[in-house]
Amino acid sequence: MHEQGLGVPRNHAESLKWYRRAAEQKLPEAIERLKNLPSIELLSTEVQPAEINPGEKLNVTSLVEVSGISGSLEINLERQIVFENKPLFTTPKVQSQKLTNGSHKIVFEITIPSNAHPGSYKFVTTLRAAGIESQKETLFLVR
């Protein structure tokens, strides 16, 4: 239904959710369909170094797994730094890439603002592609 857009808007993420639920119930059709559906997953996001000074560069590495597609698929990774539950940037930093099937290590470098206050910060990465959205968070410390 969600895969084809029958009576509802097409929604890849929603169709995956329902196929996974059906596959958990051991329905052979759902198990087979899951093998043939495209899958995009943000597996992890890590920052280096874990402690940093204002004005220094932070390296962010995200691991993305892609399967079940022919050719390539464009993904968007949105990056945001959060301090005391407030985003540092008015709009997230966006990185677009075309990926093929397989595991992909995507590296992003960002400079911590020179006026950043000391404390614990959260780095949020959101993957958007083909109706799928997933998010990972990781913490780092500004001295």
Q: What is the pLDDT of residues 33-90, one digit of tens each?
A: 877 777 889 999 999 999 999 999 999 999 999 988 888 999 999 999 999 999 988 8
Give how far Cα 71 sits from Cα of 5, 98, 112, Å.
Answer: 23, 9, 36
Walk me through the domains of the chain, giving residue ranges and CATH numbers: 1-37 (no CATH), 39-142 (2.60.40.3880)
Determine the Cα–Cα distance for residues 83 and 120; give it in Å rounded to an integer: 7
**Residue where the block lists tokens 């560069």:** 57
Using 50, 70 and 90 to split pLDDT, how confident is the model at 3? low
Q: What is the pLDDT of residues 97-143, one digit of tens each?
A: 999 999 999 999 999 999 999 999 999 999 999 778 899 999 999 99
Q: What's the distance, CA 89 to chain centroid?
A: 18
With 60 as the cut, is the pLDDT of residue 11 above it?
A: yes
Query: What is the three-class DSSP state of 43?
Result: strand
Determine the Cα–Cα distance for residues 92 and 122; give it in Å rounded to an integer: 13
Do residues 72 and 100 touch, judged by C-beta distance below 8 A? yes
Using 50, 70 and 90 to split pLDDT, how confident is the model at 2? low
